[in-house]
Structures are given as C-alpha cells and as structure tokens.
Amino acid sequence: MKLYNTLTRKKEDFVPIEPGKVRMYVCGPTVYNFIHIGNARPMIVFDTVRRYMEYKGYDVNYVSNFTDVDDKIINKANEEGVSPDVITARYIAECVKDMQGMNVKEATVHPKATEEISGMIDMISTLIQKGYAYVTEDGTVYFRTRKFTEYGKLSHKNLDDLESGHRKEKEAIKVTGEDTKEDPLDFVLWKPKKEGEIFWESPWCDGRPGWHIECSVMSKRYLGDSIDIHAGGEDLIFPHHENEIAQSEAANGVVFSKYWLHNAFLNIDNRKMSKSLGNFFTVREISEKYDLQVLRFFMLSAHYRSPLNFSSELMEAAKNGLDRIKTAVDNLDHLLESATDKTAENDGAIKEEINSYINKFEEAMDDDFNTADAISAVFELVKYANSNITSDNSRVIISYVDDTIVKLCDVLGIIARREKEMLAEDIEKLIAERQEARKAKNFARADEIRDQLLAKGIILEDTREGVKWKKA
Ligand code: AMP
Ligand code: ZN
C-alpha cells in the first residue's frame, strides 16, 4: 500500500511502526456551529482510509478530537448568553448525528480539549524545562520556534522567508504596541484569560491553551509519542501541523508521525466556500435534500488530494450512480430468492472475472487511496453483474457477486443494500412493547422505540383509540 506523505512529498510504501497496527490521529472540528460540507471531507476520506486499512487486516486505533475551547465558541456563547459548554455539547451532539448519517465510524477515542488541560500543562512545563518555551511577564507561554531547528520541514517553508512575511504582514496592518515575544516566529502555548472568559489555573497564569498544543497532547495520551498517520485538511499543514511537530518532537525527543496525509479543499461552484460569499452549506442543509450517503459517494468520486467542486449536477450524478449500485444489489438479492444449488461449468470463470474487479479495486486503493478509480471498479462489476448474472447461475455465484459489491462498497463506507421497509406486524410489535415500557414507567425505552421507528420513517400518534402510526 502506497500513500502520499506531505512530509517527504512522495508516495511511500506504508510500513507501520508496529506490525499489524495503525495509530492514526485526525484533527477534528471546532464545535461552535453545525459542521459544513468542507469539514465533512476529511471526516469521510480519512474514515475511508481507516476502513481500507481494516479491510487489509490492520488493527486501527483512530483518534479524532473535538476542539471545544476557542474564540469562536466563546463569541457564540456570549451572543446566546450561555456558557461555552452549552454551545459545545449542542454542536458535538449535532456533529455526531451528521457523522452517523455519513456512515463515519465512531473514533476509538473522541477526546475534547477541555478535558485534557492537565496533559497540556505537563507538556508545556516539559517544553519550558527543555528551553523550548518561555514565559513572559503577563504569564503568556511561547514556543521558541528557532530552537527547533527542523521547523518548516512539513510545510517546506524556510524560517527567514517566514520571518520577512511576518514583518510585512505587521507593517500592512500597522500593528502597534509592545510585542512580548522574543521572536515574531514564536507561537502561543498558553495565554492569560480575558475578562469574563473561561479559564484554567496553571503555573504561569489563569488562562487557556493555544490551539496547537491540544493535538500534540491528545495524540501522545491516546496513541503514544510516535504515531503512524496524522491527517487533516491541507489548510492545517501550516501553521497547525508544523507547530504540532515542533511541540511534540521537542517535548518527546522522537519523530511525531511517520506519515502526514492532507485532503484538498472542497469548493462550491468553483469558488472557495465562505459565509460572506453566501455559498456555504452545512451537512444538515444537504441532508434535507439528499440522503447523506449521496454526499459521501460524491466526496469519494474524486481523489482526496484533488480539489473538489460541489455542485447540484455532481450531487445528482452521485445520486444516480449510487442508485445504480443499489438496484443491482436488489436484483441480485431477488435472484437469490429462487436460486438453485446447482453448479455450472462456467462458475470458475465467473469467479475469476469477479476477482479481477476486486483486484482493480485494491490496486486503486493501494495507490494512495484512489477512491475515484475504486468506484469505477465497482461500477464495472455492477455492469458485469447486470449483463451476465441471471437466474441460470448458481446460488454460490450469485451470492459471490452480490456479497462482493456490498463488501467493496462497505470499504468505502457506502451501504449498497437498501433497507427493507418495515413490515406492519413488526411495527405493531414495537408499539406494543412501547406501551408496556410506558406502563412500567420505563420512559427511556419508550422514547428509544419511538426514535427507532422515526429513524425508519414511522411516526407515532397517541389518539383516543390508542396509538396509531403512519409513514412520514
Ligand atoms: P476546522 O473546524 O476549521 O478546524 O476544520 C475541521 C477540518 O475541516 C480540518 O481538517 C479542515 O482542514 C477541514 N476543512 C475545513 N474547510 C474545508 C474545506 N472547504 N474543504 C476541505 N476540508 C476543509
Ligand atoms: Zn490538530
């Protein structure tokens, strides 16, 4: 399996630190609003990387954080007159719903920055002890960037270019006042609280962490000092990931991550998504029009390192493509109902043909997760099945084609088998169980059943004559 490593700018063979195991960290969203479809891209593509690695037999430890302390969160909390944890709890729950809709597997651990503050204080203390960080008069702690001589190795930036960039930027915005940093390149590890803001106690001042330190700390805590893969959107290469490397390698004295993977951006109508341009969609908005499986299929129709343009035409194309696959599976399931156990002379040849599509799929995925080509291999298999598999084939062969389509789609996180509609008698059974639960005052179970039915599009109505149901 080859993957493109931003660090070396080359496709490299994947060799895990520990045979059979993958330790992977993906930078997650800042939770102050519904996630947008741009945020959904790394979630979907790196979930697919994970699924493919699991398909290959690796045991994947997948950690993805929620950034739940940030200026945008504090502003939103102030706007609504609530505390920041009300905002973050709300949007973490909404984000989890969206991830479920997109069939993104739950991470092994989903740490939150606010629950990892003591680890951050420990790492900052180590950095100070080792001379990689310093405290200024007001209690701000900065990372001493030039001391980490490999700074810039991920983004391939040169420190002097960066410094002159900083100077020009400052002149352009006419920054005045004292800068307490030793060097303009230094970045914040810990900063003093502002009036009315959330804060934690620390040896330096009451305050809160800078953004970058959280990922270094969570990655160390849940995956160890050295990990296999660190991933995120390409905007994170600099400064976020560059700073994470500096912090982690300075503190731990070992290579932080062997491979660095970055997805390109998702644009809308060939323009950068932005609130001010009004070309901005949340995943929730898309879910009103499409099954989120369609969004997932659309995202995977391009290579993760290519920019991708979101448009209704491409979403319609994804919807039709997905339908084609699902219909093929429906037809094969239907054939299986009346299939016989006979074997045919050409069974072996058909199996070989099917295996050739599996090989194509794996070759594409082994080549830096080329999901676009992997999807083409699935389409070719579907086409082959549509024109060659009939009721004349044996059960074994029909099942093999059917299961292969479903399995390859599952590697992409695509559910190829349509959910069968619930039968009236199953619905009635659940309603009766709900009534029993209510009688026993087990309201949690009663609500669970109502939600379970709702998820299948069944709405319950309490009437005088008892509980009635209808399809949404
Ligand atoms: P944020 O909440 O801004 O920290 O973003 C969370 C993740 O979404 C990061 O990995 C970003 O790189 C990624 N991301 C944000 N916007 C886009 C976009 N338009 N296309 C692709 N990835 C994005
Ligand atoms: Zn991060």
CB within 6 Å of ligand 1 — which residues? 27, 29-30, 38-39, 41-42, 232-233, 235-236, 263, 265-266, 273
At 356, which CATH number? 1.10.730.10
What whole-number distance in Å separates Cα of residue 328 and Cα of residue 81? 53
Give 49-92 pLDDT, tens digit per residue. Answer: 999 999 999 999 999 999 999 999 999 999 999 999 999 999 99
Which atom of ligand 1 lies at the shortest distance from residue 234's CA? 12
Q: Are 369 and 49 in contact (CB under 8 A)?
A: yes
Q: Are 353 and 384 in contact (CB under 8 A)?
A: yes
Question: How far is C-alpha 143 from the chain's CA centre?
Answer: 29
Residues 222 and 309 in one domain: no
Residues 222 and 304 in one domain: no
Give pLDDT, residue 45.
98
In whole numbers, what is the pLDDT of the chain averaged over residues? 93
Burial of residue 267 (CB within 10 Å: 0-12, 13-18, 19+) is middle
Among the bound ligands, name the one nearest to the CA of residue 234. 1
In this structure, is residue 386 part of a structural domain? yes
Say whether pLDDT at 351 is over 90: yes
Instruction: Calculate how far, in angstroms, residue 227's C-alpha sits from the geometric centre of ligand 1.
Output: 22
Which atom of ligand 1 lies at the shortest distance from residue 28's CA? 6
Residues 34 and 137 in one domain: yes
Which atom of ligand 1 lies at the shortest distance from residue 236's CA? 12
Among the bound ligands, name the one nearest to the CA of residue 265. 1
Instruction: Calculate how far, in angstroms, residue 36's C-alpha sits from the geometric centre of ligand 1.
Output: 9
DSSP states of 39-94 = HHHHHHHHHHHHHHHHHTT-EEEEEE-BB--SHHHHHHHHHHTS-HHHHHHHHHHH
Instruction: Calculate how far, in angstroms, residue 32's C-alpha sits from the geometric centre of ligand 1.
Output: 14
Q: Which residues contact 305 (CB under 8 A, 6 or more apart)?
A: 4, 262, 263, 264, 368
Q: Are 112 and 68 in contact (CB under 8 A)?
A: yes
Give pLDDT, residue 172.
63
Instruction: Calculate how far, in angstroms, residue 399's C-alpha sits from the geometric centre of ligand 1.
Output: 40
Which atom of ligand 1 lies at the shortest distance from residue 233's CA? 12
Say whether pLDDT at 290 is over 90: yes
Say whether pLDDT at 339 is over 50: yes
Say whether pLDDT at 112 is over 70: yes
Higher pLDDT, 158 or 254: 254
Nearest CA to ligand 1 atom 14: 39
Nearest CA to ligand 1 atom 2: 29
Say whether pLDDT at 176 is over 60: no
Give pLDDT, residue 283.
97
Nearest CA to ligand 1 atom 8: 39
Instruction: Give the pLDDT band (50/70/90) at residue 35.
Output: very high
Residues 334 and 454 in one domain: no
Residues 88 and 67 in one domain: yes
What whole-number distance in Å separates Cα of residue 28 and Cα of residue 385? 39
Mean pLDDT throughout 122-151? Answer: 97
Token pair 């369609």: residue: 294
Among the bound ligands, name the one nearest to the CA of residue 215. 2
What whole-number distance in Å separates Cα of residue 327 and Cα of residue 325? 5
Say whether pLDDT at 464 is over 90: no
In this structure, is residue 270 part of a structural domain? no
Q: Whole domain around residue 314: which residue ranges?
A: 283-411
Instruction: Calculate how far, in angstroms, residue 240's C-alpha sits from the geometric centre of ligand 2.
Output: 6
What whole-number distance in Å separates Cα of residue 190 and Cα of residue 204? 8
Question: How far is C-alpha 366 from the chain's CA centre?
Answer: 20
In this structure, is residue 274 part of a structural domain? no
Residues 62 and 121 in one domain: yes
Which atom of ligand 1 lies at the shortest distance from residue 36's CA? 16
Say whether pLDDT at 460 is over 90: no
Mean pLDDT throughout 159-184? Answer: 72
Residues 76 and 100 in one domain: yes
Instruction: Calculate how far, in angstroms, residue 236's C-alpha sits from the geometric centre of ligand 1.
Output: 8
Name the residue of 25, 36, 41, 272 whose CB sits within 8 Å of the most ligand 1 atoms, as the mutation to test its pocket: 41
Handedness of CA 316, 321, 326, 332 (dihedral sign): positive
Nearest CA to ligand 1 atom 11: 233
Pairing outcome for strands 10-13 and 2-5: antiparallel
Residues 297 and 254 in one domain: no
In this structure, is residue 275 part of a structural domain? no
Give pLDDT, residue 191.
96
Say whether pLDDT at 177 is over 50: no
Residues 332 and 465 in one domain: no
Given 263, 295, 318, the domain boundary residue is 263
Mean pLDDT throughout 39-49? Answer: 97
Residues 233 and 125 in one domain: yes
Mean pLDDT throughout 274-297? Answer: 90
In this structure, is residue 350 part of a structural domain? yes
In this structure, is residue 418 part of a structural domain? no
In this structure, is residue 416 part of a structural domain? no
pTM here? 0.90
Q: Which long-range contacts does 353-362 make (Cβ < 8 Å, 24+ apart)?
A: 353/384, 353/388, 354/381, 354/384, 354/400, 354/401, 354/404, 357/381, 357/384, 357/404, 358/404, 358/408, 361/408, 361/411
Pairing outcome for strands 227-233 and 257-263: parallel
Tell me how many domains the chain contains: 3
**CA angle (362, 366, 371) in 5-degree steps:** 75
At 66, which CATH number? 3.40.50.620
Name the residue of 39, 76, 262 whose CB sits within 8 Å of the most ligand 1 atoms, as the mutation to test its pocket: 39
Token pair 């203390």: residue: 125
C-alpha closest to that of 148 among 162, 165, 137, 167: 162
Say whether pLDDT at 178 is over 70: no
Mean pLDDT throughout 240-248? Answer: 98
Residues 198 and 230 in one domain: yes
Handedness of CA 44, 223, 365, 14 (dihedral sign): positive
Instruction: Give the pLDDT band (50/70/90) at residue 174.
Output: low
C-alpha closest to that of 351 among 409, 294, 396: 396
Instruction: Calculate how far, in angstroms, residue 163's C-alpha sits from the geometric centre of ligand 2.
Output: 23
Say whether pLDDT at 170 is over 80: no
Q: What percentage of the chain's residues is helix, strand, coil (to nearest 5)?
A: 50, 15, 35
In this structure, is residue 271 part of a structural domain? no
Instruction: Calculate how far, in angstroms, residue 233's C-alpha sits from the geometric centre of ligand 1.
Output: 5
Say whether pLDDT at 419 is over 90: no
Among the bound ligands, name the one nearest to the CA of residue 41. 1
Instruction: Calculate how far, in angstroms, residue 231's C-alpha sits from the geometric centre of ligand 2.
Output: 8
Residues 433 and 384 in one domain: no
- Output the six-digit token pair for 158: 């040169």
Say whether pLDDT at 225 is over 50: yes
What whole-number distance in Å separates Cα of residue 158 and Cα of residue 152? 6
Instruction: Calculate how far, in angstroms, residue 175's C-alpha sits from the geometric centre of ligand 2.
Output: 28
User: Helix 395-411 crosses helix 371-388 at what angle (to 10 degrees)?
Assistant: 160
Give 92-105 pLDDT, tens digit per residue. Answer: 999 999 999 999 99
